[in-house]
Copies of this chain bind each other. A is one copy, B any other.
Amino acid sequence: MFKKVLIAEDHEIANISVQKTLEELGITENKYVYYCDHALSWIRNALRSGAPYELLITDLYFEDDHNEQQLSGGVELIKAVRELQPGLKVIVFSAENRPAIIDDLFKTLAIDGYVRKARRDAQHLKEALQAVCGHKTYLSPGLKQTGKGHNSHEFSSFDVTIISLLSQGILQKDIPYYLQQKGIKPSGLSSVEKRLNLMKEVLGFSKNEQLIAYCKDIGVI
């Protein structure tokens, strides 16, 4: 089992329980911080002193307060950690439940475990620690990886751009202009329409409003 673990979690209540949970597993050499910047400092200092951390447990979203922070949240913290200590194991512990976002954590940031704050989260956290310690990955039960069912769609960056513009109130007929501004290659109105139609057809939708709601739900925008 791990011996030296760093926990980044801004909620005091959650922080206390993670602490207690780790102690129950015999993990005692821990540091608990409430800010992302502090987490990075401790990782950097531990690395310099020759006794690096073995595991980082972090939340995704940290609330702003009077203390100005460089790192805005868990994603930026993990990115910074990856440059500093690429081998550090990372478990994300958050209430986020949108598959697209969680999936992206595994793919882009190569995290080792994701535990969702939910009914049995303390138990799940223990299971995650066991799994990650054995160099396996862990995902909370009930969170299916975006295994694309019959009606799901892999959103390209082009798709996301179009949907974002729509959700910002840009008229569909004006989207080509914005695409040209950004130098995005297919910029014709027909291409935009074609892509929107494809997305809606795959997902069984008929209106843009449905598409926006769906994308908000799964977290692609």
Contacts and interface: CB of A to CB of B under 8 A. Distances in A.
Interface of A: 10-14, 16-18, 20-21, 34, 63, 65, 95, 117-123, 125, 166-171, 205-210, 212-213, 216-217, 221
A168 B122 contact: no
A119 B34 CA distance: 8
Nearest to A18: B13
In order of increasing CB-CB distance, the 5 nearest A-B pairs are A216-B216, A167-B213, A12-B122, A13-B17, A169-B210
A63 B119 contact: yes
Contact of A166 (B18, B20, B119, B207): B207
A118 B64 CA distance: 10
A208 B172 CA distance: 12
Copy number of this protein in the oligomer?
Answer: 2
Contacts of A12: 17, 119-123
B14 A13 contact: yes
B11 A121 contact: yes
A92 to B, nearest CB: 14
Contact of A20 (B20, B95, B171, B217): B20
Given A11-B117, A209-B209, 7 more contacts: A12-B123, A16-B21, A167-B213, A171-B207, A208-B209, A209-B212, A212-B213
21 contacts: A10-B119, A11-B119, A11-B121, A12-B17, A12-B120, A13-B13, A13-B14, A14-B14, A17-B20, A20-B20, A34-B119, A63-B118, A65-B119, A167-B210, A168-B210, A169-B205, A212-B216, A213-B216, A213-B221, A216-B216, A216-B217
Contacts of A95: 95
A209 B119 contact: no
A118 to B, nearest CB: 6
A150 to B, nearest CB: 18
A83 to B, nearest CB: 27
A119 B217 CA distance: 23
